[in-house]
Protein backbone atom coordinates (compact mmCIF):
# COMPACT_ATOMS: atom_id res chain seq x y z
CA UNK A 1 0.00 0.00 0.00
CA UNK A 2 2.91 2.38 0.72
CA UNK A 3 4.25 1.86 -2.80
CA UNK A 4 0.78 2.60 -4.22
CA UNK A 5 0.69 5.89 -2.26
CA UNK A 6 4.22 6.69 -3.49
CA UNK A 7 3.14 6.17 -7.10
CA UNK A 8 0.08 8.39 -6.65
CA UNK A 9 2.15 11.09 -4.90
CA UNK A 10 4.77 10.95 -7.64
CA UNK A 11 2.08 11.28 -10.30
CA UNK A 12 0.50 14.26 -8.54
CA UNK A 13 3.90 15.99 -8.33
CA UNK A 14 4.51 15.45 -12.07
CA UNK A 15 1.08 16.81 -12.93
CA UNK A 16 1.57 19.87 -10.68
CA UNK A 17 5.01 20.56 -12.15
CA UNK A 18 3.67 20.22 -15.69
CA UNK A 19 0.75 22.57 -15.05
CA UNK A 20 2.90 25.20 -13.29
CA UNK A 21 5.62 25.29 -15.96
CA UNK A 22 5.59 28.01 -18.60
CA UNK A 23 3.64 27.10 -21.73
CA UNK A 24 5.95 24.95 -23.85
CA UNK A 25 5.60 21.93 -26.10
CA UNK A 26 4.41 18.67 -24.63
CA UNK A 27 2.07 15.73 -25.04
CA UNK A 28 -0.53 13.67 -23.22
CA UNK A 29 -0.97 10.00 -24.08
CA UNK A 30 -3.65 7.47 -23.14
CA UNK A 31 -3.74 3.83 -24.23
CA UNK A 32 -5.71 0.78 -23.22
CA UNK A 33 -6.66 -2.79 -23.91
CA UNK A 34 -9.07 -5.21 -22.22
CA UNK A 35 -6.74 -5.71 -19.22
CA UNK A 36 -4.81 -2.43 -18.79
CA UNK A 37 -4.85 1.34 -19.03
CA UNK A 38 -1.82 3.62 -19.21
CA UNK A 39 -1.59 7.41 -19.16
CA UNK A 40 1.43 9.64 -19.61
CA UNK A 41 2.13 13.37 -19.74
CA UNK A 42 5.37 15.03 -20.88
CA UNK A 43 6.40 18.65 -21.09
CA UNK A 44 9.39 20.41 -22.59
CA UNK A 45 11.45 22.07 -19.83
CA UNK A 46 14.12 23.36 -22.20
CA UNK A 47 15.04 23.20 -25.87
CA UNK A 48 14.98 19.47 -26.68
CA UNK A 49 14.59 18.35 -23.03
CA UNK A 50 11.38 16.72 -21.77
CA UNK A 51 10.28 15.85 -18.24
CA UNK A 52 7.30 13.59 -17.79
CA UNK A 53 5.74 10.58 -16.22
CA UNK A 54 2.90 8.14 -16.28
CA UNK A 55 0.91 5.39 -14.62
CA UNK A 56 0.04 1.86 -15.75
CA UNK A 57 -2.75 -0.13 -14.11
CA UNK A 58 -3.02 -3.73 -15.29
CA UNK A 59 -4.85 -6.92 -14.40
CA UNK A 60 -3.18 -8.83 -17.26
CA UNK A 61 -0.92 -11.05 -15.12
CA UNK A 62 -2.23 -10.31 -11.60
CA UNK A 63 -2.72 -6.86 -10.08
CA UNK A 64 -0.06 -4.29 -11.10
CA UNK A 65 0.23 -0.55 -10.57
CA UNK A 66 3.38 1.00 -12.01
CA UNK A 67 4.45 4.61 -12.23
CA UNK A 68 7.40 6.31 -13.87
CA UNK A 69 9.17 9.65 -14.13
CA UNK A 70 11.50 10.31 -17.06
CA UNK A 71 13.93 12.94 -18.28
CA UNK A 72 14.70 12.73 -22.01
CA UNK A 73 16.67 14.54 -24.65
CA UNK A 74 14.38 14.74 -27.68
CA UNK A 75 14.44 15.68 -31.36
CA UNK A 76 11.57 15.77 -33.84
CA UNK A 77 11.84 16.45 -37.57
CA UNK A 78 9.64 15.68 -40.57
CA UNK A 79 11.56 12.36 -40.92
CA UNK A 80 11.85 11.11 -37.32
CA UNK A 81 10.91 11.58 -33.66
CA UNK A 82 13.45 10.32 -31.07
CA UNK A 83 14.15 10.62 -27.36
CA UNK A 84 16.85 9.14 -25.11
CA UNK A 85 17.31 9.38 -21.38
CA UNK A 86 16.65 8.05 -17.90
CA UNK A 87 13.46 6.75 -16.28
CA UNK A 88 12.66 5.93 -12.65
CA UNK A 89 10.02 3.16 -12.53
CA UNK A 90 8.13 2.19 -9.38
CA UNK A 91 6.12 -1.05 -9.11
CA UNK A 92 3.37 -2.14 -6.72
CA UNK A 93 2.48 -5.74 -7.60
CA UNK A 94 1.21 -8.98 -6.09
CA UNK A 95 4.77 -10.35 -6.51
CA UNK A 96 6.79 -7.53 -4.98
CA UNK A 97 7.28 -3.80 -4.71
CA UNK A 98 10.20 -1.62 -5.64
CA UNK A 99 11.68 0.79 -8.08
CA UNK A 100 14.74 1.50 -10.12
CA UNK A 101 16.54 3.83 -12.47
CA UNK A 102 16.68 2.68 -16.06
CA UNK A 103 17.93 3.91 -19.40
CA UNK A 104 16.22 3.86 -22.76
CA UNK A 105 14.15 5.89 -25.12
CA UNK A 106 11.90 5.91 -28.14
CA UNK A 107 12.20 6.28 -31.90
CA UNK A 108 9.69 6.71 -34.72
CA UNK A 109 10.22 7.02 -38.46
CA UNK A 110 7.74 8.94 -40.65
CA UNK A 111 7.03 7.13 -43.90
CA UNK A 112 8.10 9.27 -46.93
CA UNK A 113 5.07 8.36 -49.06
CA UNK A 114 2.67 8.77 -46.13
CA UNK A 115 3.99 11.55 -43.84
CA UNK A 116 1.05 11.20 -41.41
CA UNK A 117 2.13 7.60 -40.63
CA UNK A 118 5.02 6.73 -38.33
CA UNK A 119 6.39 3.37 -37.18
CA UNK A 120 8.60 2.73 -34.18
CA UNK A 121 8.73 1.90 -30.54
CA UNK A 122 10.32 2.38 -27.16
CA UNK A 123 12.28 0.47 -24.56
CA UNK A 124 13.67 0.93 -21.04
CA UNK A 125 15.96 -1.39 -19.09
CA UNK A 126 16.53 -1.14 -15.33
CA UNK A 127 19.53 -3.20 -14.15
CA UNK A 128 19.79 -4.67 -10.64
CA UNK A 129 22.57 -2.23 -9.70
CA UNK A 130 20.05 0.68 -9.80
CA UNK A 131 17.02 -0.82 -7.99
CA UNK A 132 15.43 -0.56 -4.55
CA UNK A 133 13.26 -2.69 -2.26
CA UNK A 134 12.25 -6.05 -3.82
CA UNK A 135 12.98 -5.13 -7.46
CA UNK A 136 15.97 -6.96 -8.97
CA UNK A 137 15.62 -5.71 -12.56
CA UNK A 138 12.93 -4.79 -15.06
CA UNK A 139 12.30 -3.87 -18.64
CA UNK A 140 9.50 -2.43 -20.72
CA UNK A 141 9.24 -2.25 -24.48
CA UNK A 142 6.58 -1.48 -27.02
CA UNK A 143 5.96 -1.17 -30.74
CA UNK A 144 3.52 1.26 -32.33
CA UNK A 145 2.08 2.28 -35.69
CA UNK A 146 0.85 5.89 -35.41
CA UNK A 147 -1.42 7.94 -37.66
CA UNK A 148 -1.73 11.74 -37.39
CA UNK A 149 -5.51 12.24 -37.40
CA UNK A 150 -5.31 16.06 -37.20
CA UNK A 151 -2.40 18.43 -36.63
CA UNK A 152 -2.10 17.81 -32.89
CA UNK A 153 -3.68 14.35 -32.42
CA UNK A 154 -2.24 10.93 -33.26
CA UNK A 155 -4.06 7.62 -32.97
CA UNK A 156 -2.09 4.39 -32.75
CA UNK A 157 -2.14 0.63 -32.38
CA UNK A 158 0.65 -1.21 -30.72
CA UNK A 159 2.01 -3.85 -28.39
CA UNK A 160 3.51 -3.48 -24.88
CA UNK A 161 5.43 -5.85 -22.61
CA UNK A 162 6.52 -5.13 -19.03
CA UNK A 163 8.65 -7.68 -17.14
CA UNK A 164 10.24 -7.52 -13.70
CA UNK A 165 12.23 -9.76 -11.41
CA UNK A 166 11.55 -9.37 -7.70
CA UNK A 167 13.72 -10.68 -4.85
CA UNK A 168 13.17 -14.40 -4.17
CA UNK A 169 10.82 -14.66 -7.17
CA UNK A 170 11.25 -15.62 -10.80
CA UNK A 171 11.08 -12.99 -13.53
CA UNK A 172 7.41 -12.21 -14.18
CA UNK A 173 5.50 -10.66 -17.06
CA UNK A 174 3.49 -7.89 -15.43
CA UNK A 175 1.68 -6.68 -18.54
CA UNK A 176 1.67 -7.65 -22.21
CA UNK A 177 -0.56 -7.44 -25.21
CA UNK A 178 -1.98 -5.31 -28.00
CA UNK A 179 -3.29 -1.82 -27.30
CA UNK A 180 -4.92 1.22 -28.89
CA UNK A 181 -4.23 4.79 -27.94
CA UNK A 182 -4.35 8.50 -28.65
CA UNK A 183 -1.66 11.14 -28.16
CA UNK A 184 -2.38 14.86 -27.96
CA UNK A 185 0.43 17.33 -28.78
CA UNK A 186 0.26 20.73 -27.12
For residue 131, count other CB atoms closer than 10 A to its CB: 23
Which residues does residue 68 pair with via DSSP β-bridges, in sequence order? 54, 89
- Amino acid 118: pLDDT: 98
Contact 81, 89 (CB under 8 A): no
Closest to 58 measured CA to CA, from 5, 27, 95:
95
Length of the chain: 186
What residues are paired with 46 via a beta bridge? 49
Percent of the chain with pLDDT over 70: 87
Give the residue extent of every domain in the chain. 2-185
Tell how strand 131-133 and strand 135-150 pair up: unpaired
Q: What does the pLDDT look like over 148-161, one tens digit per residue?
A: 999 999 999 999 99
* 168: phi then psi, degrees, rounded to nearest 5: 60, 25
- CATH number belonging to domain 2-185: 2.40.160
Q: What is the DSSP letter of 62?
A: B
Per-residue pLDDT of 132-147, as tens digits, reads 999 999 999 999 999 9
pLDDT tens per residue across span 82-135: 999 999 999 999 889 999 999 999 999 999 999 999 999 999 999 999 999 999
Amino acid sequence: MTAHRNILGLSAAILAASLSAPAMAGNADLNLNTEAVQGEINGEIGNGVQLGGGILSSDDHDDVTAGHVQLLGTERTSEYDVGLGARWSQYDTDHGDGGGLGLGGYGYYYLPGAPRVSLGGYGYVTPDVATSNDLEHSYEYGLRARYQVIDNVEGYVGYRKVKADFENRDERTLDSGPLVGMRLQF
